[in-house]
Structures are given as structure tokens and as C-alpha cells.
Amino acid sequence: MVIVMKPGSTDRNIGEVSKALENLGLGVHISKGSQRTIIGAIGDDRVLENVPLELMDGVEKLVPIVESYKLTSRTFRPESSVINVGGVEIGGKELVLMAGPCAVENREQILKAARAVKKSGAKFLRGGAFKPRTSPYSFQGLEEEGLKLLKEAREETGLLIISEVTSEKTVEIANDYVDMFQVGARNAQNFQLLKSIGQSKKPVLYKRGLSTTINEWLTAAEYIMSEGNYNVVLCERGIRTFETATRNTLDLSSVPVIKNASHLPILVDPSHAAGKSQYVFPLSMAAIAAGSDGLIVEVHPDPMHAMSDAAQQLTPQAFDSLCEKISQLCGIIGREFEYGA
């Protein structure tokens, strides 16, 4: 249930409604927009059936949320959310790029990657320290040692750090190193992991699952937000279909659908969608044109010798060319991107 307050309602009015909800055992989330304040009642709203909230001072109307997802719904928060991560805003006018190798392999590799993506305009360095792989015999990542190398790269370049966490234990380990967690497709419905991230309050890039519908994706994001962490950015990375020409099928339609259904920002991962570096450029441009708030792209100093996902990683030179074209596109569609920052 959403309680829409009248324009000009006072803090006292808002406080009284909030207290009434809390007395009924409901959680409360207050969203203050430019015109109105909206109060979200979190929990079983059947307890409100015989409570005349609409008669309280300052209340304009009650709006039931019919979607299975509540906190992620645009009904709950009509204005688009902008997530601030270390001073970088995701979901605003500026397009945000996250870039770096699939996995942290060694000090030289990650520092080269960091310097290159920083030069082209990326604001985040991505790099896997904990790698959930299909085969148990594949490279599994450097774990905490990899996080330490990412931290060193941040200290040198000023880039923010994003890295994937795969369990409650890795959340605890990574918390002191990264600026933003990443939840990968394989863990999109690992609800204990999502709860743990929700309790941490650290910003998270939450990727769509391999076979997850948009409704399931947004509903699963509730696990993070219901624990009090509203710093969620969604990421479309392709879904599994019958097509084999690409690694996954990039569902670009999810970008405008999410923009309509949810207030959360959304990024696109063209690298995992394509699985082949030659397709990353056109998919990136299409994603931005569709309304994506940014991209997360795999970039490796020497993709031919990468220890994982070599075929989909761009060279620094290719990434720089992509960023130059993104800058030009942003000028056309009214977004901002600082190429060569």
C-alpha cells in the first residue's frame, strides 16, 4: 500500500501517518518527491482494511500496489531513483561506464586495465575476485588477494571498485574493499545472498538471471530492499534462449520496460550478452539509445591470454574507440559522458 500525501503536508502529518503504520506492525518507507511525499507501507497490508488512513491530516489518497514487487515499483516511488556511489550518480543525466577484466589475474594486468579504462572515461573498475564458473576446473579467481589488487588500483587511479560476491562469506570479505557489490546471473535468486547484501547497505549492481522474467527479477530485488538497502542498480546481461550465435540473447526491451515499471536505474552488460568482442560495440550503442543509464564492459590489456572469457573482452584501444562514439551518441540523445576524463 502507498499513502500519497497532499502537496504541502507537514512533517508532523507525515510523522503521524508513519507512526500509525508502525503501530500496526508495518514497515515504513518515506519517499519525498518534488511535488509530493509518498509513504510506503511494507508488510501485510490486510491490517489496513479497517483503518481509515485517508481521513488523517495531510493524506490525499491510498494506492494499492498490484504488482508482486513493491519497493522496486514505480507506483511506490514515481520519481526515478539516482544511486550515489562514492560521489558518482547512477541514474542521472550522466552515463556511467564500468569497465575492466573478467577476472583479476595479477598486479600488472589489473593496473594496466585500470589506467586504460580511466583514461577513456570509465568511473568504475570491474574485476572478478570470486569467480563462479560452470566448470569446477576453470579459474576460480584470486579471492581476497584479488580484492587487495583492486584496492591498489583504486588508490592509484581514483576509480571506484565493483566486484562480484557469491556468498554471505564473500560479502563479509569484500565489504572492506569494494565500493559496490555485484550479484551475477547465477546468483540472481540466491535469496540468502540477497538478504545479506540488503543488510550491508552497500550499493549493489544486481544482474538479471539466465532465465529470469522481468517480474521475477524485480521481485527478487525486493529481498535486498526489504532489508533496508535501497541502493540497487539493475543490470540486463542477456537471457538464455534457443539462439547460439551469441552467448546469450540481449533483451534490450527490458530497458524501457524496467524504466516504466520501476524507479531503479538500469545498466546493460553487452560483453556477457554477446560472448564475442565484435558484437560489444553495436550492442553498447543500442543499449544507450534504448535508455540504459550506463554499461559494464569487459576490457583486458591482452584478451588473447585472458584466463577467463577471452573472446568477449575488448582491448583498451577498442574500448577507447567505443567511448569516443558513446560521447558522440550522448550528445544526440541528451545524455552526458565525459570521454577521455
Domains parsed from the chain with CATH numbers: 2-63 (3.30.70.1140), 83-333 (3.20.20.70)
Query: Which helix (H) or strand (E) segment is 64 a member of?
Result: none
* pLDDT value of position 136: 63
Helix axes 107-120, 144-157, angle to 10 degrees: 40
* pLDDT value of position 132: 65
**Three-class SS of residue 125?**
strand
**Three-class SS of residue 124?**
strand
Q: What angle do CA 107, 108, 109 make, to 5 degrees?
A: 95
Give just the sign of the alpha carbon dihedral 80, 44, 49, 16.
Answer: negative
**Three-class SS of residue 328?**
helix
- Residue 123 makes CB contacts below 8 A (sequence gap 6+) with 88, 96, 97, 98, 159, 160
* pLDDT value of position 224: 96
pLDDT in tens, 115-134: 999 999 999 999 999 866 56
For cell 547484501, what's the residue? 197
Q: Is the pLDDT of residue 45 over 90?
A: no
Q: Is the pLDDT of residue 135 over 70?
A: no
* pLDDT value of position 164: 95
Mean per-residue pLDDT of the chain = 93
Spatial distance between the Cα atoms of 264 and 153, rounded to a whole number of angstroms: 29
C-alpha cell at position 274 = 554477446
Higher pLDDT, 134 or 195: 195
Query: Which helix (H) or strand (E) segment is 120 a member of?
Result: helix 107-120
* pLDDT value of position 36: 83
pLDDT in tens, 224-271: 999 999 999 999 999 999 999 999 999 999 999 999 999 999 999 999
Spatial distance between the Cα atoms of 24 and 75, rounded to a whole number of angstroms: 22
- Which residue type occupies 51? V
For cell 527490458, what's the residue? 254
Helix axes 214-225, 254-261, angle to 10 degrees: 50
* 86 phi and psi angles, rounded to 5 deg: 55, 35
- Which residue type occupies 222? E
C-alpha cell at position 128 = 572478478
C-alpha cell at position 36 = 509530493
Least confident of 5-9, 31-35, 148-152, 331-335: 31-35
Spatial distance between the Cα atoms of 272 and 126, rounded to a whole number of angstroms: 13
Put the strands of the sheet holding 27-32 in their side by side order.
Answer: 27-32, 37-42, 2-5, 59-63
